[in-house]
Amino acid sequence: MNALYDLPAPAKLNLFLHITGRRDDGYHLLQSVFMLIDWSDVLHVELRRDGQLTREDLTTPLPADDLVLRAARALQAFAAPGQGAHIGVAKQVPAQAGMGGGSSDAATCLLALNRLWDLRLPLQRLERIGLALGADVPFFLRGHNAWVEGIGEEITPVALPSGRFAVLKPTAGLDTRLIFAAEDLQRETSPAILSGFAANDAAEIFRFGHNDLQPVAQRLCPEVRQAIEWLGSQGLEARMTGSGSAVFAPLEQRDNAPHGPLLDDPPPGWQLRQCSNLEVHPLAGWAV
């Protein structure tokens, strides 16, 4: 095997995000449901036999040392001498959006190189490598929608109904560190119960809970509020996903349009997509 092409790295939405406490080391305790959607980056991975790791930016320029290269270097420690790779990244998922784009890219890179280099590392080993790169990487490696707790390391698969969503990313981004460092961040939301979440019907399960980061994010980045208000002008009930500036809203089935309702064009520079959720990651099963 010399190459693997068109490998998807899907984004995720946080259906809700509750902060339930804070550990002595400063890490926040959270509860959330991570849901895969069909807004994806795409990776192309080619074998190099000179031991070099290189990356080509096929769309948006990436930082010189991004999570893709860091993931490749971490996995190369298990490879035979001389095994390298050239990785092309077609970036589609916006950065600083709270959609996990960089973590998903890293997970797809780990799965691809594990196969390309014939390492046959088990999923559990890949997860340990991924966790050192970012808290969301193990979720994408497991490849199932999940109830997430702790600092993001406690992952329980959940079944979700099929749904479509309007996802809107304004021009501005958000720095996760600034939100979690804010003194006015709500950190004492009462813990929810997985069975209580799962008992909701298809219409309510996508509106469960709230995002504790949203008030701080709206103060730091007024475009978050503006994006929520813009989707509200389209008759949609929106909230922020994750710790970035993207917001989303469920699209009701009443519209009967095959690809969802018609929405106005967003403000210039904003990215709007109508997305479907995924039952499993397209690369689920690549490591066991």
Q: Which residues are catalytic?
A: 12, 136
**Cα-Cα end-to-end distance for the chain:** 20
17: its two tokens: 């995000």
In this structure, the strands spanning 84-90 and 146-149 are unpaired
Contact 203/214 with Cβ under 8 angstroms?
A: no
- Give the 3-state DSSP-derived string for the chain, with helices as H, strands as E and coil as C: CCEEEEEEEEEEEEEEEEEEEECCCCCEEEEEEEEEEEEEEEEEEEEECCCCEEEEECCCCCCCCCHHHHHHHHHHCCCCCCCEEEEEEECCCCCCCCCCHHHHHHHHHHHHHHHHCCCCCCHHHHHHHHHHHCCCHHHHHHCECEEEECCCCEEEECCCCCCEEEEEECCCCCCHHHHHHCCCCCCCCCCCCHHHHHCCCHHHHCCCCCECCHHHHHHHCHHHHHHHHHHHHCCCCCEECCCCCCEEEEECHHHCCCCCCCCCCCCCCCEEEEEEECCECCCCCCCC
Q: Which residue has the tokens 């010399």?
A: 2
Amino acid at 198: A
Nearest to 17 by CA among 211, 154, 213: 211
275: its two tokens: 């997305």
